Amino acid sequence: MHHNPEQPWTVERLGAVADLPRSTFARRFTESVGRPPLSHLTLVRMNAAATLLRDTDAPLSAVAQHVGYASEFAFSTAFKREFGIAPTTYRQKQPTTRVA
């Protein structure tokens, strides 16, 4: 999930990668990480998005797609829930050392 956050991960798929039943994987993951797997995936995606917003001029739609969201709206909603501000506001508040 960390190397490919854009993939359509499910707990079942993550469990299969770990060669564990879904419920066992979910329980062990939550015990180890402190968050359920899909909650952690959202955090991974949002941190990757924050980096892209800070370090590139990529359009919001491209950032959303890169981190696994099919729409800007879904991405913006998740980003705002995680960071407390809209992605465009986040980008505007960052230093202007972006590259294309």
Give the C-alpha distances (Å, rounded to integers) separating 25 from 15, 21, 85, 90: 5, 6, 32, 34
98 inside domain: no
Q: Which domain does 83 fall in, by range?
A: 11-93
* Residue 86 counted as domain residue: yes
Residue 6 is assigned to a structural domain of this protein:
no
Residue 99 lies in a domain: no
Does some domain include residue 47? yes
Query: What pLDDT sits at residue 96?
Result: 58
Q: What is the pTM for the complete model shown?
A: 0.86
Provide the residue-wise pLDDT of the chain in tens; the chain has 100 residues: 999 999 999 999 999 999 999 999 999 999 999 999 999 999 999 999 999 999 999 999 999 999 999 999 999 999 999 999 999 999 998 765 555 4
CATH of the domain at 31: 1.10.10.60
C-alpha 12/C-alpha 37 separation (Å) is 10
Query: Can you read off the two tokens belonging to residue 77?
Result: 């909603």
Is residue 24 assigned to a domain?
Answer: yes
